[in-house]
A = this chain, B = another copy of it.
Amino acid sequence: MAKLTPAQIKTALAGVPEWTKKGGAITRTYQFKDFPAAVRFVKTLAPKAEKAFHHPDIDIRWNKVTLTLTTHDEGGLTEKDFTLARKFDEL
Name A's B-contacting residues (CB within 8 A): 34-36, 39, 42-43, 46-47, 49-50, 55, 57-62
Contacts and interface: CB of A to CB of B under 8 A. Distances in A.
18 contacts: A34-B50, A35-B46, A35-B49, A35-B50, A35-B55, A36-B46, A36-B47, A39-B43, A42-B60, A43-B43, A55-B62, A57-B59, A57-B61, A58-B58, A58-B59, A59-B59, A59-B60, A60-B60
A34 B46 CA distance: 11
Contacts of A42: 39, 42, 60
Contacts of A35: 46, 49-50, 55
Contacts of A60: 42, 57-60
